[in-house]
Structure 1
């Protein structure tokens, strides 16, 4: 069966279409560590597939691109495992966006031109079967589809066109005495875990084929995970295919390589963060980063330079001096160019003397103080060099500073410093039966409004003539670097204060409040049972009408650093449990831990939080002033300072937009 969009299922009014996203066929891959070939099979047994992400509003992407919001062309409305000709099949209903840029894609889908679909996924456990003289088979027995994509060409027309990524850290189970079971063909029906369990334990070989039944809702994540232990423990764990420390070393090298490539190409850290989170291989990530850098360069307006006389030499000299200063500041990070070698080892005052002489300014017989004064005040380009070095070190430090809030919040830009108003649209009113007279009752959509604004923060750094005379390199390298880190720290302070201050929302209630149904009545410890209660509370959140159940699913477990180890141990269950009661459900293990020291209280109970994905529902929004993304630098000849003044400026603001995607448990005091 082809894995493809199905034009005959198009509903034009709702812009929906049904797709087959997997048939579970084998795809040949190569182990990135050993180089050996293997056949990968994604088991579609309902006990092995976690559909919570797809049924939680997973995106429909344009060929697996996930750099910008424009890459999202639709959403997965519903996903399920169906039964067709005796085999399991992954099916879904997707809805396309009505944006203008998506319209050509939608029309090609309707016309049957675009038909291929690919699934992006993460595997938590493989069941490995090896027989002498054959290629090993890796069957994913605990995996989760993450997104669906419309793609032009796929690797396997019958099995689906899957995202190309290296295997992530997961359990590897060697299968002993594999069971060869055949399944009776039957008309296509949707399979629940209970039905799948019956087929495994009580086969009815002589029973007549049942008549087609009406489709039933897809299994819930809890039902799917409840069936998993029996299926997984049939395989006997043996020695792993490769050592855990080797996997960790490879993973660290991959992450470090991605961030290093992003820094060298001057690509935003958010792009690198996304590649790391998606598990993209280093080779593929470098290709993405090169494309991102090229797109960024293409967006910058360029003009031809008019050059006269020795202007080229002046620019070369300026670049050489700047490179020599940066190399002196951090040799391992900044490469010494050939032109910069003649400036290597010179003091700042010696560089100023050489630069002035090269510009035709007479400096013979001048003292150090006079050289410093002329370098800073005679129209020389030397102040621009100092400002360039300062800007570079400050910006690098700003981009390298850790910011844990970016995963749980949505980024935007604003045009000015006026108050930003964000609306929470309510749900459409419930439809009511029309009476015999044919009268339709009017309804309304509720809304709520949150307001915040971008504020300006800044500091001035002065490069004085004393800096040149004293050869104080730290004054315009180390000090600006600290200012860059301080700017990033300020952003984190602003965002995380939303959690700790718990300020009032537009309705007059605190962000975390019993009236918002997002605050546990009593603080409890961080464990599976209490996480399940918190998750249930989020799923029962209602719309602004107080009736519509939103079924919100958390994506992040946010904890203070004092709970980081406990959270990671709770979610990283790598041992196959022997009792059902010991199972950590996949919907909980799929949570991503975000640890932040600003959430640690001075004493007493230690809280923890659940946060939904900002792409699924509004949570926290942070904003920069348009055109001023991050910390920016301005320079001028000093008036209050006898030298160059460098001003670092940050225009930034943040606010909680909706409380329904956030949940707080006050926690308990740690022993």
Structure 2
């Protein structure tokens, strides 16, 4: 035994001896109020206050004192005691033991760029669109017939699916949970459901190879490049003031089936964590230096303007993007039109009556002899098992590509 261990033992011994003086409550505070941490909880308190626990502690105190004073007999007995599981656990209570907090989760953010839908059941649902009939009217000459214009319909469809998991623990594990760690199991399952929503939404418009190439394409005119917005436009620019300008230009040049403009009230800029600083710097800047025509400009061909984008663009940082997109997930960025005004770029649907994650605990199939309810924490009849479960129902689809713009940020 080293000198430091001996000094520590003598200090602890002075605290333990308080038990023999009859002031057991004060001794508890003395022992656990220093370097160690007293972890509160009903199970822990019951054990600390039990008579057997205190008797074991007093017995250990006597053996420890004899060891410190050189009593060979006490030393042998103390070594034997330290090999027993109950005394090992007893000293485990004096050591600083803490349960670290769970990772922080973000609130669900997909509603800022996707519409929320409601469905009645698990069958495929359709979302219909009607286009046409809104073009500029034709002039009608005297006694001439009115021209007939056509309208066309289209539909998007998807079906919701059920997601869920369960966690099962034994009754013995619950009893031994002096850190109350298992009380967080329902919360963890709820967080898992929240993550499922966010990842599901991200996987609609992004994949392992990059942004969804069917939805984002030159044919849909929602990729930033010269073929969409004209000569001089870079291909897949990085996120800068100028890059965001090209995105707004791309979105603003979309036309409906009648060849008319599509008005976009506000947009959401969705970026990975790697672009969070750049996105917020752009949106929160007080002024922007721009060329007369809006380009980079140098010398006298510049304007100092208030940052008008602050009122048009909101930023959402989506940490799932680099996880889903393993090719350019840290550089790709997206602009979505407000999903609650006009036609949305995508929709996530939820089952009516089950629109939020549902948490369950299995009711024990047992009752006490003589009657009386059995709490779920007591476990089932066959195995003393306690089971928690989460269930959620979600589905969704991409809808109108005219309401979104993408750049993979690679410049190529």
TM-score per shorter chain, which class? 0.5 to 0.7
- 1:602 & 1:462 partners in 2: Cα distance? 33
- 1:400 & 1:581 partners in 2: Cα distance? 43
Which residue pairs with 2:302 in the alignment? 581
**Residue 516 (1) aligns with residue 220 (2):** yes
Per-residue CA deviations over 1:418-472 (Å, capped at 9, x if unaligned) read 1121122213243323344453333232222111121111112234322344346
**Residue 631 (1) aligns with residue 357 (2):** yes
Which residue pairs with 1:482 in the alignment? 188
**Residue 532 (1) aligns with residue 245 (2):** yes
**Residue 608 (1) aligns with residue 333 (2):** yes
Shift of 1:660: 1.2
- 1:480 & 1:588 partners in 2: Cα distance? 41
Shift in alpha-carbon separation, 1:483–1:343, aligned structure 2, 3 A: closer
- 2:200 & 2:179 partners in 1: Cα distance? 32
Q: Which structure: larger Rg?
A: 2
Per-residue CA deviations over 1:180-217 (Å, capped at 9, x if unaligned) read xxxxxxxxxxxxxxxxxxxxxxxxxxxxxxxxxxxxxx
SS class of match (1:549): coil
- 1:629 & 1:477 partners in 2: Cα distance? 25
- 1:400 & 1:563 partners in 2: Cα distance? 19
The correspondence for 1:499, drawn from 205, 214, 223, is 205
Shift of 1:623: 2.1
Shift in alpha-carbon separation, 1:576–1:448, aligned structure 2, 3 A: closer
- On the 8 A contact 1:465/1:643 being kept in 2, the answer is yes
Matches within 5 A, 1:74-473: 345-346=45-46, 401-430=106-135, 431-471=137-177
Shift of 1:606: 1.4
Which residue pairs with 1:295 in the alignment? none
RMSD: 3.7
Per-residue CA deviations over 1:329-385 (Å, capped at 9, x if unaligned) read x98xxxxxxxxx9999336xx9xxxxxxxxxxxxxxxxxxxxxxxxxxxxxxxxxxx
Which residue pairs with 2:70 in the alignment? none
Q: How many residues align?
A: 280
- 1:416 & 1:551 partners in 2: Cα distance? 34
- 2:213 & 2:326 partners in 1: Cα distance? 25
Unaligned runs of 5+ in 1: 1-329, 332-340, 351-396
- 1:424 & 1:557 partners in 2: Cα distance? 25
Shift in alpha-carbon separation, 1:553–1:641, aligned structure 2, 3 A: farther
- 1:633 & 1:649 partners in 2: Cα distance? 7
Shift in alpha-carbon separation, 1:482–1:549, aligned structure 2, 3 A: same
**Residue 622 (1) aligns with residue 348 (2):** yes
Which residue pairs with 1:151 in the alignment? none
TM-score using structure 1 length: 0.37
SS class of match (2:320): helix
- 2:301 & 2:270 partners in 1: Cα distance? 27
Shift in alpha-carbon separation, 1:345–1:541, aligned structure 2, 3 A: same
Shift of 1:494: 0.1
Which residue pairs with 1:123 in the alignment? none
Shift in alpha-carbon separation, 1:415–1:346, aligned structure 2, 3 A: farther
Between 1:630-639 and 1:576-585, the stretch displaced more is 576-585
- 1:639 & 1:417 partners in 2: Cα distance? 35
Shift in alpha-carbon separation, 1:515–1:667, aligned structure 2, 3 A: same
Per-residue CA deviations over 1:365-409 (Å, capped at 9, x if unaligned) read xxxxxxxxxxxxxxxxxxxxxxxxxxxxxxxx9996432323222
SS class of match (1:461): strand
- 1:629 & 1:398 partners in 2: Cα distance? 25
Shift in alpha-carbon separation, 1:429–1:413, aligned structure 2, 3 A: closer
Shift in alpha-carbon separation, 1:500–1:537, aligned structure 2, 3 A: same
- On the 8 A contact 2:220/2:401 being kept in 1, the answer is yes
Shift of 1:533: 1.9
SS class of match (1:597): coil
Which residue pairs with 1:261 in the alignment? none
- 2:154 & 2:145 partners in 1: Cα distance? 30
- On the 8 A contact 1:422/1:451 being kept in 2, the answer is yes
Larger relative contact order, structure 1 or 2 (CA cutoff 8 Å, min sep 6): 2
Shift of 1:517: 0.8
SS class of match (1:449): strand
Shift in alpha-carbon separation, 1:466–1:533, aligned structure 2, 3 A: same
Shift of 1:498: 1.4
Between 1:457-466 and 1:598-607, the stretch displaced more is 598-607
